[in-house]
Amino acid sequence: MKTVAVAALVIVAVSSVFPALYGGVSSPTSMRRARALLRAAGVQPGETVVDLGAGDGRIILTAAKEFGARAVGVEIDPLRFALCRVRIALHRLAHRVEMQWANFFDVDLTDADVVTFFLSQAAADKLAPKLKAELKPGARVVSHQRPLPGWTPWRVDREHDLYVYRQAANSAGDKN
Ligand SMILES: C[S@@+](CC[C@H](N)C(=O)[O-])C[C@H]1O[C@@H](n2cnc3c(N)ncnc32)[C@H](O)[C@@H]1O
């Protein structure tokens, strides 16, 4: 019994420490806001949506189920990563939803049509130049709560506290 309790404590501690160390906040977006976020990005069927810090997978699952997207979740916390894998299997969406157990600062974003995140301001600050350098022209970024320094919002949804950005055709990420 004592071993089980210690194991549970270790698991909870690891699950709390990872997000705090790498990207800050760890509470999920509400389902209402998750849908609003995907609508604000104008997600189209077949597009690739990448959620940086996928949490319990609600954004990637909603993107695939309700918007017909291909979705990729990146999650550093092994527990949340495992939970997402289970949920993807339960929803039978493995053909359209992929999980990566990784630090999103190390993940190549050049194939993304839409990038979403709900992170600390420090993480958003650090992501801003990476997004500018890697995203293709026309790709959209939706951030819940955190503005992206150096980017001009394309839309701001005050009701849901969303900042929407669009990579310009002449950006650093433009490969044309
Ligand atoms: C506030 S939650 C958001 C979860 C989900 N995107 C949502 O909106 O419901 C932030 C998530 O980002 C993860 N995270 C933080 N920093 C990360 C990093 N550098 N790489 C990958 N995941 C990270 C945390 O573990 C946590 O699950």
**Count of other CB atoms within 10 angstroms of residue 116:** 30
How many angstroms separate the alpha carbon of residue 93 from the centre of ligand 1?
Answer: 21
Residue 84, token pair as written in the block: 């997402």
How many angstroms separate the alpha carbon of residue 49 from the centre of ligand 1?
Answer: 15
Query: Does the pLDDT at position 68 exceed 60?
Result: yes
Mean pLDDT of 148-164: 97
Q: Which residue's alpha carbon is nearest to atom 18 within ligand 1?
A: 103
Query: Does the pLDDT at position 5 exceed 90?
Result: no
One-letter amino acid of 15: S
Residue whose C-alpha is closest to residue 50's, from 111, 8, 119: 111
Residue whose C-alpha is closest to residue 111's, from 58, 175, 65: 175
CB 115 within 8 A of CB 139: yes
| pLDDT at res. 87 | 98
What pTM, to 2 d.p., does this model score? 0.89
Mean pLDDT of 45-69: 98
How many angstroms separate the alpha carbon of residue 2 from the centre of ligand 1?
Answer: 31
Q: At what angle do helices 2-22 and 78-90 cross, to 10 degrees?
A: 100
Backbone dihedral angles phi then psi of residue 149, each to the nearest 5 degrees: -60, 135
Tell me the residue ranges of DSSP E strands in 15-126: 48-52, 70-75, 97-101, 114-117
Query: Does the pLDDT at position 19 exceed 80?
Result: no
| pLDDT at res. 175 | 39
How many angstroms separate the alpha carbon of residue 26 from the centre of ligand 1?
Answer: 6
Domain coordinates in residue numbering, the chain: 2-166
Q: Which residue's alpha carbon is nearest to atom 27 within ligand 1?
A: 55
Percent of the chain scoring above 70 in pLDDT: 82
How many angstroms separate the alpha carbon of residue 53 from the centre of ligand 1?
Answer: 3
- Answer yes or no: CATH 3.40.50.150 is held by domain 2-166: yes
Query: Does the pLDDT at position 84 exceed 60?
Result: yes
**Count of other CB atoms within 10 angstroms of residue 15:** 15
Name the residue of 29, 76, 100, 120 whose CB sits within 8 Å of the most ligand 1 atoms, as the mutation to test its pocket. 76
| pLDDT at res. 27 | 84
Rounded distance between C-alpha atoms, residue 131 and residue 154, angstroms = 15
| pLDDT at res. 73 | 98
| pLDDT at res. 174 | 39
Q: 173: pLDDT confidence band, cut at 50, 70 and 90?
A: very low
